[in-house]
């Protein structure tokens, strides 16, 4: 069967005939144990700022899938990087290359640095799966996550439906926006909705907020809301709770807000009607399915789809309690 030479040709032919008749498939579990090989997968995700942070959620899915396939000799080695420091991304990426894992799950958070990391992975023939955001045609095995452009388009339509008048402020709570591909795509989708579907005359403004440790940014945004007649706000990432705090602090009225992700703080403002909609990306599902893609490709030697878009869930205070990831 494995051409080790111990089986007579006549016996071998009989066995192969039986195998064909029974449509025999090799036992992957037994083969893995016999070869005493294991597969090491690395995860490379942004470091969450708190235990309730968004980036804890994909790793919950990762650990769940690993627990299901550990019998096949699959191990996980987690790596994280600072969300505000591209240099730290490069340092941690170097450690992954030195580890030489059998596959990598990572979020291409910083575009330029991710491209360099990808080149190193490809040079060592290490398959990689994107989650949360993607770089098109980068040689990835697969992508698990939302279509960021389409997510922005949906957010634009939602805000358009609930905003009778006034202007709109798009807020990025992020550093180096041009280097964060998924936020750029969300903004483009949002803009395109109003560009292609508008009969009203709303003006759109964009601002970036790199630091929120002190509250000086709040006074700046409050002034912009008043001067620009802002009645709608779109936050491109999971930090929409910052706008909830601002609205509460200054007791602002009549502002419609849309953001992303079912963080505890975001949901609190959703239930208070300060945030009208949250776009859910199913991050636990992303982590789970990303590991599953590597498992199917590396261990099972199977073929996997290159794009696997998760649903764009529109969450309101009326349906949020039905999302188990929040409970």
- The string of DSSP letters for 84-108 reads T-HHHHHHHHHHHHHH--SEEEE--
In this predicted structure, what is the pLDDT of residue 199?
Answer: 64
Query: How is domain 148-280 classified at the CATH fold level?
Result: Rossmann fold (3.40.50)
Phi (first) and psi of residue 207, to 5 degrees: -140, 150
CA distance readout (Å), 43 to 30, 47, 149, 246, 326: 26, 11, 25, 35, 23
Q: What is the separation, in whole angstroms, between the first and last Cα of the chain?
A: 51
Span(s) in the chain for CATH 3.40.50.2300? 38-146+283-309, 148-280
59 contacts 94 by C-beta, under 8 angstroms: no
In this predicted structure, what is the pLDDT of residue 83?
Answer: 85
Phi (first) and psi of residue 13, to 5 degrees: -65, -40
Query: How is domain 38-146+283-309 classified at the CATH fold level?
Result: Rossmann fold (3.40.50)
What is the torsional sign of CA 147, 149, 178, 160?
A: negative
In this predicted structure, what is the pLDDT of residue 34?
Answer: 43
The low-confidence residues of the chain, meaning pLDDT below 50, are 1-7, 12, 15, 18-36, 326-327
In this predicted structure, what is the pLDDT of residue 49?
Answer: 76
How does pLDDT run across 77-90, given as a tens digit for each residue? Answer: 999 999 888 999 99
How does pLDDT run across 175-197, given as a tens digit for each residue? Answer: 766 667 789 899 999 999 999 98
In this predicted structure, what is the pLDDT of residue 204?
Answer: 95
281 contacts 146 by C-beta, under 8 angstroms: yes
In this predicted structure, what is the pLDDT of residue 297?
Answer: 96
* pTM across the whole model: 0.82
In this predicted structure, what is the pLDDT of residue 207?
Answer: 94
How does pLDDT run across 88-136, given as a tens digit for each residue? Answer: 999 999 999 999 999 999 999 888 999 999 999 999 999 999 999 889 8
In this predicted structure, what is the pLDDT of residue 182?
Answer: 85
In this predicted structure, what is the pLDDT of residue 102?
Answer: 97
195 contacts 129 by C-beta, under 8 angstroms: no
């Amino acid at each position: 069967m494995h051409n080790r030479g111990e089986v007579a040709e006549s016996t071998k032919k009989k066995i192969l005939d039986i195998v064909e008749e029974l449509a025999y498939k090799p036992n992957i579990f037994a083969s893995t144990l016999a070869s005493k090989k294991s597969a090491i997968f690395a995860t490379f995700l942004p470091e969450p700022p708190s235990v309730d942070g968004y980036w804890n959620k994909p790793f919950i899915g990762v650990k769940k899938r690993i627990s299901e396939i550990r019998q096949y000799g699959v191990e996980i080695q987690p790596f994280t990087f600072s969300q505000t420091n591209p240099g730290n991304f490069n340092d941690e990426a170097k450690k992954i290359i030195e580890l030489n894992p059998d596959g990598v799950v990572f979020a291409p958070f910083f575009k330029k640095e991710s491209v360099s990391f990808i080149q190193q992975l490809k040079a060592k023939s290490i398959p990689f799966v994107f989650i949360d955001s993607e770089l098109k045609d980068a040689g990835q095995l697969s992508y698990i996550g939302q279509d960021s452009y389409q997510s922005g388009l949906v957010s634009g339509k939602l805000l358009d439906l609930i905003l009778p008048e006034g202007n709109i402020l798009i807020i990025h709570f992020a550093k180096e926006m041009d280097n964060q591909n998924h936020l750029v795509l969300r903004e483009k989708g949002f803009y395109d909705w109003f560009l292609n579907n508008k009969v009203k005359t709303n003006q759109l403004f964009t601002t970036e907020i790199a630091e929120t440790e002190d509250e000086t940014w709040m006074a700046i945004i409050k002034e912009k809301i008043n001067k620009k007649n802002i009645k709608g706000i779109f936050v491109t990432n999971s930090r929409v709770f910052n706008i909830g705090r601002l609205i509460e602090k200054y007791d602002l009225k009549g502002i419609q807000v849309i953001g992303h992700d079912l963080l505890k703080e975001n949901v609190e403002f959703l239930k208070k009607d300060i945030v009208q909609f949250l776009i859910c990306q199913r991050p636990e599902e992303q982590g789970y399915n990303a590991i599953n893609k590597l498992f199917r490709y590396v261990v099972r030697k199977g073929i996997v789809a290159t794009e696997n878009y998760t649903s764009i869930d529109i969450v309101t205070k009326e349906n949020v309690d039905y999302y188990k990831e929040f409970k």
